[in-house]
Amino acid sequence: MAPPAPYGREGGLFRRLKGACAAEWHAYAWHAFVQGIADGSLPMAAFRRYLVQDYLFLVQFVRAHALAAYKAESLDAFRDKAASIQALLHEMTLHIRYCTEWGLPEASVLAEPEAAETVAYTRWVLDRGMAGDILDLEVALAPCTIGYGEIALAIEASPTRKRGGNAYESWIAMYAGAEYQALARASAARLDALGESHGGDARFTALAADFAKAARLEAAFWQMGLDASR
């Protein structure tokens, strides 16, 4: 079977950003936390910590998508963002159920304070969206939205991939599945289109700096989970 095609188009903004920030992207996309998911060795305490903070992250992620709807460049884009907000709200419900399966009841998840890494990442994304335009915001969001899709495919292709008895199989399947992969590819295509319509070439240096920072904040989020097991 041929490997999946890369996200975005050749010469498009997403691939250019990823290429300009290759070191930061690799540190995020193949972090020790991700490697532990791939081979099943990640301590469960690390994954539980991540699950709780990921729910709190989603709360702010919905706010960021609401801001993207406000800043949408067209009525069609507004409709797409409205749909994504509904999808994220549904995902939050599913996430709580998933947490319960990991021995994390809803009350304990909701009572948990945001970690410093969660605050740093989410508030920075919202700040970029408030200070900039729709392209600035979508670049800040891209490493999360597109990155999780790419990470799942990297896990599937990894020679260390453990299938039988891997406690994280359902997590991998969710992000490697057709529904999420379609979302990630659509997000990359949207970023490419915004790069053309909103002066991505002229702004590339600043956009690449934001993309690299988002990747670093994502890596710090993984590390926050990993540190819970030490």
Please say whether the dihedral angle defined by the alpha carbons of residues 200, 141, 148 and 82, taken in this order, is positive or negative. negative
Q: How many residues does this entry show for the chain?
A: 230
Q: What is the pLDDT of residue 136?
A: 98
d(CA 98, CA 101): 5
Q: What is the pLDDT of residue 2?
A: 62
Identify the three-state secondary structure at position 12: coil
Q: What is the CATH number of domain 17-227?
A: 1.20.910.10
Note down pLDDT in tens along the chain; length 230 residues: 567 889 999 999 999 999 999 999 999 999 999 999 999 999 999 999 999 999 999 999 999 999 999 999 999 999 999 999 998 999 899 999 999 999 999 999 999 999 999 999 999 999 999 999 999 999 999 999 999 999 999 999 999 999 999 999 999 999 999 999 999 999 999 999 999 999 999 999 999 999 999 999 999 999 999 999 88
Q: Which residues contact 20 (CB under 8 A, 6 or more apart)?
A: 204, 208, 211, 212
Domain edges within the chain: 17-227
Q: What is the pLDDT of residue 229?
A: 84
Cβ pair 144, 65 in contact under 8 A? no
* Entry pTM: 0.95
d(CA 198, CA 207): 12
Q: What are the φ and ψ backbone dihedral angles of 100, each rounded to 5 degrees?
A: -60, -40
Q: What is the pLDDT of residue 3?
A: 74
Measuring CA to CA, which residue among 130, 137, 131 is closest to residue 210? 137
Identify the three-state secondary structure at position 195: helix
Task: Give the Å distances, CA to CA, from 139 to 31, 55, 87, 209.
Answer: 21, 22, 20, 10
d(CA 211, CA 10): 18
